[in-house]
Amino acid sequence: MNQDLLRSLVWTDYKLAVLFTVLIPLVLIIWAAFKRSEAMVRLLIIYWRVSSLLAITVYLMIPQLPISFLTGMTARIMIPLSLWFWVDLNEEIKDRPDTPLKWTLTSWRWAITIYCVLGVIASIPFLPCSFIPGEIAKPTCQVWLEAPLAFKDIFHPNTAPGVLGFFGAFGLFIYTLYLAYFVFVRLGKQGRSALEQ
């Protein structure tokens, strides 16, 4: 693939990610809290917990850690799962009267699901960036690191990439512990119910 076309597609993906994974859910959680829609707020809190893996991925990409390509793909798999997994929340949201908030949340859930599925498919050719030693130095992998480096220049201009990578790795460690706890302890107790037990 032409490098300029790839760069354009990658930057478009990052812009869509900011829209679908940050801005819209931020508006939705504020809107749902204002409307006192407990089920929607709970769903969006779960979403923010799961999608924090995207932020971790950005911090892992800044020092060019190969695992970041794998965490980015994993986040795109887990986000739709987190939005549709909960039987009780799905029922509560479905049973709510039709409102602009319900319509917007439902539209966003479908849109981000489609975006994430397409993102996973598009990420498959770049998985070697995670697994083959030295692959991350190739131009096709380096294109994916441009946006995180621009993020660093804006928000952390005086911080060494290694320091930010350490925080990303620490965040991934905590995220993995919490995910393991959820899968091996909480999931067995509460099943597909988002209600705390």
Whether residue 197 has pLDDT greater than 60: no
* Token reading at 129: 């960036």
Mean pLDDT of 164-188: 95
* 77: nearest Cα among 36, 31, 123, 44: 123
Q: What is the pLDDT of residues 9-51, one digit of tens each?
A: 999 999 999 999 999 999 999 999 999 999 999 999 999 999 9
The rounded distance, in Å, linking the Cα atoms of 158 and 154 is 10
Q: For residue 21, give Cα distances in angstroms to 115, 116, 127.
A: 10, 10, 22
DSSP SS3 for 133: coil
Whether residue 1 has pLDDT greater than 90: no
pTM of the model: 0.93
Q: What is the pLDDT of residues 54-70, one digit of tens each?
A: 999 999 999 999 999 99
Q: What is the pLDDT of residues 91-148, one digit of tens each?
A: 999 999 999 999 999 999 999 999 999 999 999 999 999 999 999 999 999 999 999 9
The rounded distance, in Å, linking the Cα atoms of 81 and 96 is 22
The rounded distance, in Å, linking the Cα atoms of 136 and 131 is 9
Environment class of 85 (CB within 10 Å of its CB; exposed 0-12, middle 13-18, buried 19+)? middle
